[in-house]
Amino acid sequence: MKKLAALILLVLIAALLVGCSLTSSNSNTGPCTAQNLTMGPSNFCTTALSLPKGSTITFVDEPDNGAIHILVIGTNGNSDTESGAPDFGGTAGHSMNAGDTWTSPPWNKAGTYHVTCTVHPQTMNLTVTVTG
């Protein structure tokens, strides 16, 4: 009887782990580009993006993930002034709910910048390289 209970417990734990890994992945169905940069429950579809000067980034918070994201210029969840970066709403950032789409202001100055989520500081850090 103890072996059966242990086996059932083991199966339940395995099912829980599989379920967690499925819900934390990004189910991005398209290419990860500046025109369609999807966000999963706690991740961007990429950690680095290169785009030409004058471009915008369209952030897409996947509708099924149930996650809220607050995007700011900076790293590790901290808003930081990066000269030349577009305004993401200052230190308050830009809030997004599941299913929201938001297009950033243009990235008008060549350089390397950072975007982070204040809600998911360890897993949502994006480096944006603006060229030419």
pLDDT tens sequence for the chain (132 residues) = 665 544 444 444 444 333 333 333 344 445 688 899 999 999 999 999 999 999 999 999 998 888 899 999 999 999 998 999 999 998 899 999 999 999 999 999 999 999 999 999 999 999 999 999
Could you tell me if 82 and 73 are in contact, meaning their C-beta atoms sit under 8 angstroms apart?
yes
**Strand 111-117 versus strand 48-52 pairing type:** unpaired
Full domain range(s) for residue 52 = 2-131
What is the number of structural domains in the chain?
Answer: 1
pTM of the model: 0.76
From the list 130, 127, 83, 126, the residue with the least C-alpha distance to 106 is: 130
CATH of the domain at 38: 2.60.40.420
